[in-house]
Amino acid sequence: AASMRIDSMGIDLCLPLADETKIFDGITARLIRADLTSALSIEPADLVVCWEVAEHLPESAANDFCKLLVRSTGEFLAFTAAVPGQGGMGHLNEQPKHYWREKLLASEELSYFPHLTKQVSERFLHVAPRAPWYGNNLQIFRRI
């Protein structure tokens, strides 16, 4: 993101190093470690990307995690999560796409964009054919 002159922040569940902030020519890139099952306050961002994270949290944390994503979304949310049977290390809560979509839409603050989801999904399937779950699991939302 910094190379594109975009301020960015990443959150990792198991970051091996301490939190880190770098400034590149006036552009801020932050990487923090956080427990996503506990209360967390994040400034809204124009684009929130939640990429294959939700399935690593226990089901008991799903509602609060989705509320965090909604609060953090300034305009767009790109969301993927492993579906049942996908498998993977540390997966605790593989759910069908509609499970997450219902939770994210429950606040009535986001709307689901099926056409944009389809377009971006097809692109991912084209550029990352060895990881089809990225395209298959993608859902795109926009703040209402």
Q: Where are the domains of the chain?
A: 1-34, 37-143
| Whether the Cβ atoms of residue 71 and residue 42 lie closer than 8 Å to each other | yes
Give CA–CA dist 38/12, Å, rounded: 14
Q: Distance between the two ends of the chain, CA-based, in angstroms?
A: 25
Amino acid 13: pLDDT? 64
| Whether the Cβ atoms of residue 98 and residue 104 lie closer than 8 Å to each other | no
Predicted TM-score of the model (pTM): 0.85
Amino acid 35: pLDDT? 81
Give CA–CA dist 117/136, Å, rounded: 10
* Averaged pLDDT in 10-residue chunks for the chain of 144 residues: 64 60 63 79 89 94 95 95 95 98 98 98 94 96 98
Amino acid 37: pLDDT? 82
- Structure tokens, 57: 């949290």
